[in-house]
Structure 1
Amino acid sequence: MEKEIYTKEDIYQAMKFTEELAKEYDFSPNEILKLQLVTEEACTNSHEYCEKMNYKSFSIKWAVTSKEIEILLRQKGSSFPLVQQHEINKGKRGRGIPLILNIMDEVWIKEDQDHIEFYMRKERGV
C-alpha cells in the first residue's frame, strides 16, 4: 500500500493505516503505539521539509508480514545524517530521528537522484 501525503490530515490517516496493518498482523498494543509514533514523526519531518521547500507532497509505503513491518517514505531532497544521541534532548525540536532510531530495528536512507528514501523496519515481538 502506498499513500501520497499532502496535509497534516493525511499524516493522521497514515498513522491510522499503520495501526490497522499492525493490528491485522498481531503486533502488540505497545508495538502498535510505537509504530504510530514513528509514522507520525517521520511524516511530520517530511511534511515540514516539503512545506519549507515548496514541494507539494511526499509518499509513504508499507510492507508487512507476520514477522515485520517496513515503512518507507520517499521525498524530494538530499540525505541527512542518522545520528543516535546518547544525551537527552531537552530542546523544543530534534527528537524525532533519535526516537525513530531507538524504536525501529533498522533505519537507513538511500539517495535516488533528487529524491531520498527513508526506510524503517520493525520486527514483531513474540
Structure 2
Amino acid sequence: MKHTIMIRTMTIMKPADILKAMEVTEELAERMGFLPYDCLFLRLATEEACMNAYEYCQKVQKLPFRVFWKIDEGQLMIVVKQQGGCFSITNHDTVNTGPRGRGLQLIAHIVDDVYVKQEGNNVLFCMCKCKKK
C-alpha cells in the first residue's frame, strides 16, 4: 500500500507569503536530501507557480489560494490550489522570447511531472520531483 504523508499546507494572501512558501519548499527538499542545485530550482518552481496563481487570483478577486506539500516514497509534490478554471500546460522545445509565459515552461523543465486537474470550483497545479536513487 502506498503511504502519502501531508507535510505542510499554507494560505497565500500576499507576496510575502510566497517567499515563505519558497522557503518551505527549499527546507523540505533539503530534508529529503535533494542536491543544492535541485533545491534552488524547486524553490524557483514554487515561486513561478505561486506568482501565477497570485496574479490570477488578485485579478479575479479570488484570493487567498493554498499551497500543499507532500512527500511520498522519495517524491516531493507541491500543489497550488486556487479557484478558477482549468488551464493547459504544453512543453515546448522552442524558446519563448515574449514578455510573459515562460514560467510554466520553466516549471515543466525543473520537475519530473507537472499536471493540472479540476476539482469542483478549484484548479490544482501539481508539480512532482523524484529524488534520484
TM range, smaller chain:
over 0.9
1:63 and 1:71 in contact (8 A); partners too: yes
- Counterpart selection for 1:50 from 50, 54, 57: 57
TM-score normalised to structure 2 length: 0.91
Please show how residues 1-126 of structure 1 align to structure 2 within 5 Å: 1-65=8-72, 67-126=74-133
Aligned-partner SS, 1:84: coil
1:58 and 1:75 in contact (8 A); partners too: yes
Runs of 4+ with deviation above 2 angstroms: none
Aligned-partner SS, 2:10: strand
C-alpha distance in 2 between matches for 1:115 and 1:22: 26
C-alpha distance in 2 between matches for 1:107 and 1:66: 17
Aligned partner letter, 1:123: C
- Which ranges of structure 1 fall in alignment gaps of 5 or more residues? none
Number of residue-to-residue matches in the alignment: 126
* TM-fit CA distance, 1:125: 2.7
* TM-fit CA distance, 1:56: 1.9
* TM-fit CA distance, 1:36: 0.2
Q: Deviations over 1:80-100 (max 9, x none)?
A: 111112211111210011111
* TM-fit CA distance, 1:26: 0.8
- Which ranges of structure 2 fall in alignment gaps of 5 or more residues? 1-7
TM-score normalised to structure 1 length: 0.95
